[in-house]
Amino acid sequence: MRKVVIVAVEAVTALGDLEATWEAITAGRTGIAEVTRFPTASYNSSYAALINELECGEDESYITPLLAHLSASFANNSIPEDARLFTASTKAGVDGLERAIRGGTKARPTTLFKGLLDQVRSTFGIKDRGVNVSAACASSTIAIANATRSIGNGFPDTALVVGADIITEFVFSGFSSLRALSPLPCHPFDTGRDGLTLGEAGVAILLMSEERAAREGLTPLATISGWGASNDATHVTAPARDGCGLIEASTNALKMAGLAPGEIGALCAHGTATVFNDAMELTAFAKIFNNVFGPTPPPLVGFKGATGHTMGAAGALEVALCVKALATGTLPPTVGLNDPDERAKGWATTASTPFDGPILTSNSGFGGVNGVLILEGPR
Amino acid sequence: MNRDRMSRDSKKWAITGMGWVGGRGLGRARDSQSPGWASGGPAPFKLSQVISRTEGRSGRLDEFSKLGLASAALALTDAGLDRWTAKRPIGVIASSVYGCIGTDDAYFNTVLPDEGKLSSPNLFAYTLPNCFVGETALRYGLTGPTLVINPADTTNISPLVIGLETLASGEAQALLCGFCDLEPPATIAPLDRVETGSVFMLLEPPGREDITPLATLALDGAEVTNEGEKIDDFYAFIDHLIHTLERDAR
């Protein structure tokens, strides 16, 4: 299988573009603030990481300005005509459905995934009709894995992955009804963690075979050296307490990358800040890495205290931030982590932390899904 | 199923079971009494007609999940893989054009009254297209990759290509591959050429001694072939395969 590299990456989040987001996280700042887009009085939180610059007309979905912002940020990169398109979104432009139900009309095309794909194609100028990957909060992780596999096999040798999800009353009310939202900005891996905070983001990642990147004169930013996907086969909405699915996905990714656990330099966790997700991840990673590293496995970071949980875009956003971490050799602090869980003490980052080696990044979600990617720096 | 058999013929896979829920009802390939496959919204059915273990959250399942779970269960039964004691690295890749948009519509109608105070957590839990795949995985102990693909083209060939690529790279020992769609609610304008109902097939390496394959598929680059013929359209291939099996049975 051919080596697959990331040659371009961009993101828009509540903290700005990728560079601004990275700088803010490094400084310990969060993009989480009080929601003004819709009333939240009935819900058990009023906080989210919204992109305030998004403005849309009465008959438009917020997904449209999100993609426009992302496309503008990505404009310096040339997307090859033969690029295959993968999008990753959990709810596309679901605010179109909200408006249709409220108004008794038909929903806009972007309400469906096909409409999202069509809009990404026209916004980014891509020929391939593309597919959207629906794998809950691991959607973009698994989309990147599928794109990497296709390129690795040579069919084709480049692909664009776009992860995008917006915050609407639909998703906000739903997570509130499940009692999954933290009343205040979330605290990943903290003793006081009490739920997640939602966020929205758009992320674009251009992948190529190493040979194609060389032909195009593009400098690789990172190599995707392994991936793994699994299902807990335990529960539809709750993670497996023993971390069995995450262990399986991580083990498969390490095997594919030809790496031993001891060669991993850092971990980028899903870190939703729910009691059970974070406990599951600490259990799984401790089982994989503790035998190798002793009591303290490679440093672990969670980004959702800064960006919010960006749902289907989360995996791609965390890959984008891992690319920055690989470039600087530094993991930023886990924003929102004030009083680490007993098992996270000295493990989850509370300040900028140097590391050396590949990053293993993971996401898990509803439906029992787990997705893991291993990223290596260009050096 | 073992890794020797996987590596022996790594570019070919056998279809060892098929199940469907469509306009004529519930069926599977090896049951000669089954109604044939036809696209269309299924008549009301109970999951207990299909799966024995209906305890737990069955009563909460939305119609989309019930449809996909039933046809995936029928495919596993047809392949003789419905009974299990230990979890298995079998994956599930399904396509769906509309996804769970009907459940989305029903959920948001619980948000509107009383300014969201009555939002239904039971419905929200099924507002992701991959939830029925998770239901299938947990009920049958399937730990391989599980995802739903929402295609933009009308051939719906993507799940088959991605499914065989997944098998070829050794990420699963076997794979349920199919599609699941219901008619959209009144708020959604229907799209052209979307087949409703659900069909799943079980793909695994050839060579099982206890079962005769229904057909064999090969992956050549990014093309899928059956008996040397390129498959351009997943819907058409399913129609062709089921009608061929029906003809041969007569």
Q: What is the pLDDT at residue A61?
A: 94
**How far is the alpha carbon of A342 from chain B, nearest alpha carbon, in Å?**
30
Nearest to B128 among A41, A134, A232 (CB): A134
- Taking residues A69-97, report their average pLDDT: 95
Domain-by-domain residue ranges, chain A? 4-216, 223-376
Q: What is the pLDDT at residue A59?
A: 82
Examine domains A4-216 and A223-376 and report if their fold is the same. Answer: yes
Q: Is B33 on the interface with A (CB under 8 A)?
A: no
Q: How confident is the model at residue B102 (pLDDT cuts 50, 70, 90)?
A: very high
> Does the pLDDT of residue B54 top 70, yes or no?
no
The interface predicted TM-score of the complex, written ipTM, equals 0.95
B-chain residues near A107 (CB < 8 A): 187-189
User: pLDDT tens digits, residue range A245-294?
Assistant: 999 999 999 999 999 999 999 999 999 999 999 999 999 999 999 878 88
For the domain covering A223-376, report its CATH number: 3.40.47.10
The DSSP 8-state label assigned to residue B9 in this structure reads T
Q: Is B36 on the interface with A (CB under 8 A)?
A: no
Cβ(A83)–Cβ(A94) below 8 Å: no
Q: What is the pLDDT at residue B248?
A: 81
CA distance A243 to A268: 16
- Taking residues A5-15, report their average pLDDT: 98
Q: What is the pLDDT at residue A147?
A: 98
Q: What is the pLDDT at residue B10?
A: 53
Cβ(B80)–Cβ(B90) below 8 Å: no
User: pLDDT tens digits, residue range A321-368?
Assistant: 999 999 999 999 999 999 999 999 999 999 999 999 999 999 999 999
User: pLDDT tens digits, residue range A127-157?
Assistant: 999 999 999 999 999 999 999 999 998 888 9
- Taking residues A304-310, report their average pLDDT: 98
Q: What is the pLDDT at residue B2?
A: 39
Q: What is the pLDDT at residue B53?
A: 63
**How far is the alpha carbon of A304 from chain B, nearest alpha carbon, in Å?**
21
Q: Is B128 helix (H, G, I), strand (E, B) or coil?
A: coil
Q: What is the pLDDT at residue A108?
A: 87
Domains of chain B with CATH codes: 3-30+59-249 (3.40.47.10)
User: pLDDT tens digits, residue range B123-162?
Assistant: 999 999 999 999 999 999 999 999 999 999 999 999 999 9
Cβ(B198)–Cβ(B136) below 8 Å: no
Q: What is the pLDDT at residue B8?
A: 36
Q: What is the pLDDT at residue B57?
A: 56
> Hey, what amino acid is at A33?
A
User: pLDDT tens digits, residue range A222-254?
Assistant: 999 999 999 999 988 889 999 999 999 999 999
Q: What is the pLDDT at residue B125?
A: 94
**Residue written as token pair 């009309």:** A105
Interchain CB distance below 8 Å, A112 and B158: no
Q: What is the pLDDT at residue B42?
A: 86
- Taking residues B205-232, report their average pLDDT: 93
> Does the pLDDT of residue B55 top 80, yes or no?
no
- How many interchain CB pairs under 8 A, A with B? 201
Q: Convert chain A into a string of H (helix), E (strand) and C (coil).
A: CCCEEEEEEEEEECCEEHHHHHHHHHCCCCCCEECCCCCCCCCCCCEEECCCCCCCCCCCCCHHHHHHHHHHHCCCCCCCCCCEEEEECCCCCCHHHHHHHHHCCCCCHHHCHHHHHHHHHHHHCCCCCCEEEEECECHHHHHHHHHHHHHHHCCCCEEEEEEEECCCHHHHHHHHHCCCECCCCCCCCECCCCCECEECEEEEEEEEEHHHHHHHCCCCCEEEEEEEEEECCCCCCCCCCCCHHHHHHHHHHHHHHCCCHHHCCEEECCCCCCHHHHHHHHHHHHHHHHHHHCCCCCCEECCHHHHCECHHHHHHHHHHHHHHHHHHCEECCCCCCCCECHHHCCCECCCCEECCCCEEEEEEEHHHEEEEEEEECCC
Nearest to B150 among A109, A131, A149 (CB): A131
The DSSP 8-state label assigned to residue B203 in this structure reads E
Topology of the domain comprising A4-216: Peroxisomal Thiolase; Chain A, domain 1 (3.40.47)
> Does the pLDDT of residue B7 top 60, yes or no?
no
> Does the pLDDT of residue B3 top 60, yes or no?
no
Q: What is the pLDDT at residue A155?
A: 82
Q: Is B143 on the interface with A (CB under 8 A)?
A: yes
Most A-contacting residue of B100, B124, B166, B167 (CB-CB within 10 A), to test interface? B124
Q: How confident is the model at residue B58 (pLDDT cuts 50, 70, 90)?
A: low
- A143-147, B1-5, B27-31 — which is least confidently predicted? B1-5
Interchain CB distance below 8 Å, A131 and B108: no
Interchain CB distance below 8 Å, A231 and B107: no
CA distance B169 to A272: 30
